[in-house]
Amino acid sequence: MLSEFRLPALGADMDDGTILEWHIVPGASVKRGDVVAVVETDKGAIDVEIFMDGIVREIVVAPGTRIPVGTVVALIETEDAAAAPVATLAGESGGEGLTPAAAPAPAEEGRREGGSTAAPSDRLKISPAARRRARALDVDVAALHGTGPGGAITVEDVEQARAAPKPSPTPPPPPPPAGAGEGGGMRDAIAAAMSRSKREIPHYYLSTTVDVTATTEWLTAHNAAVPVTQRLLFAALLVKSIALACRELPGFSGFHREGRYEDSPAVHVGVAVALRGGGLVAPAIMDTADKPLTTLMDDFRALVTRARAGRLRASELAAPTIILTSLGEASVDAVFPIIQPPQVAIVGAGAIAERPWVVDGKVVPRQLLTLSLGADHRVTDGRLGAQFLARIAARLLEPASL
Amino acid sequence: MNREELARRILELVTEIAPDVDAATVIPGIDFRDQFDFDSMDTLNFAIALHRELGVEVPEADYAKLASLDKCVGYLSPRLN
């Protein structure tokens, strides 16, 4: 049967995208999880995977076209009816991202890790800043020769190409998309998602201060004993603790859609990553609860690097079932986090700092961390939220068992 | 590798682990943290890259000695020669 492959939504805050490149041609065969296209969005250039097996019959949308989420971009000949439900991927009018049925699927397959790295390797090396500049200046980056590290195209390369006389007269460049400046489009997207969150979700907030002295000591000793490639960050311990707490207590890791909440069978903890040009993305570390710490840390590192390079995969942006936002590096004591719909909870972490604390009736200096929770009253109450935070803290205090 | 070559190599590694940093704008005497919001993740990635590319294993306790391009050159030079 012929199935429609539509432009997926990449979270609650994406309305449209521009196909930059296709990695497939008519006649090519595709497998679930293959990266088939690169789409420019407010969150950078995203690798979009396909969620069906079959043969490409037709590429419907040409590169360079800006299209709304849900637009049919390619037609795929699939072999059986089993692929039919996923063909409606993100076809929901709300643009709420992948359906629970579709989202966890790619991560269940181990081959995804290795398989999907092949396609992006031949991608143009260009920084997100240079890509934005190229768009603003109407410069064709594919024709440029990069002078940056590893042949990467830099902002300077783009500007020089613009300065050089063009071989033929070109029409005046179209006005740049709204907010094309540094983080502009992304700022609009964040504003839209957070406004919706504050409008629709009755938040409640809780916080608890945890004495993490023993955990930081364990971490220092661990990192001194292992090779540099196996060193861990505190945030990795936190991510794993959250994932395990989600397994123990329902109501925090899942999606609220069309008036109803459902826990997600798989726990994918998203990590909020601040981008240097401004803005924020929160891609998921897939199947967080099942990963040993070193694997989790490897994935976490790769994810942050790709987020900052603007090379995330669509599934990673749509998958988070809960998010961690850690502002420890910004030296704040605590975060009062806003939920990203359709999720129903978000955990915040402030800076770990040495402060006075009472232990056995004496005031002593300890390493303290304030954890916070923003959660959805449509699903849980403060009492359950308190238990959830307590379970995260309990896990965090047993780092060797993570 | 002389100091100039080393500085160039370090810069390559910085832009590799932080692809959103423009190498041309790096000021050697100013901490990466102050210039580019380098965080603990960047520092860890940098330490791993130094180990992989230059064969130098930097203990966590010495991370502060890698804070800027100048400091990196000063710290790594004697360890490479």
Convert the pLDDT of each residue in A126-152 to its tens digit.
766 677 677 777 777 777 777 766 677
Q: Which residue of B has its CA nearest to A306?
A: B19
Instruction: Report chain A residues whose CB lies below 8 A from the CB of B41.
Output: 233, 235, 300-301, 304
CA-nearest residue to B36 within chain A is A276
Helix ranges (H only) for A109-265 are: 111-115, 128-137, 155-163, 184-200, 213-225, 234-248
Q: Give bridge partners of residue A203 from the DSSP assignment.
A: A376
Place of tokens 């439900």: A85
Question: Strand A322-326 and strand A260-263: pairing?
Answer: unpaired
> Cα–Cα distance between A22 and A59 in angstroms, integer?
9
Q: How far apart are CA A47 and CA A18, in angstroms?
A: 12
Chain B: nearest CA to A127, how far in angstroms? 6
Cβ(A265)–Cβ(A99) under 8 Å? no
Find the helix or strand (DSSP H, E) in which A4 lies: strand A2-6
Query: How many of the other CB atoms lie within 10 Å of CB of A161?
Result: 18
Average of per-residue pLDDT values in chain A: 82
Considering only CB atoms, B47 lies closest to which of A228, A275, A309, namely: A228
Whether pLDDT at A179 is above 50: no
Rounded to whole angstroms, how far apart are CA atoms A6 and A13? 17
Contact B56, A161 (CB under 8 A): no
Q: What DSSP string runs through A264-317?
A: -SS--EEE-EE-TTS-EE--EETTGGGS-HHHHHHHHHHHHHHHHHT--BHHHH
In chain B, the residue whose alpha carbon lies closest to the alpha carbon of A308 is: B20
- Judge whether residue A222 has pLDDT over 90: yes
Domains of chain A, earliest start first:
2-122 (2.40.50.100), 201-401 (3.30.559.10)
What's the Cα-to-Cα distance from A375 to each of A248, A259, A264, rounded to whole Å?
16, 16, 16
Output the pLDDT for position A123: 56
Residue of chain A minimizing CA distance to B37:
A276
Say which amino acid occupies A189.
Answer: A
Residue A257, number of CB atoms within 10 A of its CB: 16
Strand, coil or helix: what is A83?
helix
Which pair of tokens denotes residue A20? 């930059």
Structure tokens at A26: 């008519």
Residues 6+ apart with CB under 8 A from A387: A249
Nearest CA in chain A to B13: A149
CATH code, domain carrying B45: 1.10.1200.10
Decide which of A158 and A266 is more confident. A266
- Given a cut of 70, is residue A121 above it in pLDDT? no
Size of interface A-B (CB pairs under 8 A): 75
Contacts of B39 in chain A (CB under 8 A): 329
Task: Report angle CA A60, A65, A69 to the nearest 5 degrees.
Answer: 75
- A224: nearest CB among B15, B17, B59: B59
Q: Which ranges of A57-97 would DSSP assign to H, the alpha helix?
A: 84-87
Average pLDDT over residues A11-21: 79
Q: What is the pTM of this model?
A: 0.74
ipTM for this model: 0.92
Q: Which residue of A has its CA nearest to B12?
A: A149
- For the ranges A98-107, B2-11, B68-77, the lowest mean pLDDT is seen at A98-107
Of A65, A89, A4, A58, give the one whose Cα is nearest residue A318: A89
**Looking at A17-26, A47-56, A140-149, A268-277, which range is the least confident one?**
A140-149
Q: Indicate yes or no: CB of A305 within 8 angstroms of CB of B19.
A: yes
Count of domains for chain B: 1
Whether B20 sits inside 8 A of A127 (CB atoms) is yes
Span A118-127, average pLDDT: 54
What is the predicted pLDDT for the residue at A342? 93
| Res A94: pLDDT | 37
- Smallest CA–CA distance, residue A280 to chain B, in Å, is 14
Nearest to A231 among B18, B19, B44 (CB): B44
Query: Chain B: nearest CA to A379, how far in angstroms?
Result: 34
Structural domain boundaries enclosing B53 = 3-80
User: What is residue A331's predicted lDDT score, i.e. its pLDDT?
Assistant: 82
- Report pLDDT digits (tens) over A369-393: 999 999 999 999 999 999 999 999 9
Whether A329 sits inside 8 A of B40 (CB atoms) is yes
Interface test with B, best of A219, A228, A234, A301 (most B CBs within 10 A): A228
Distance from CA of A232 to the nearest CA of B (A): 9
CB burial of residue B68 (10 Å; 0-12, 13-18, 19+):
buried
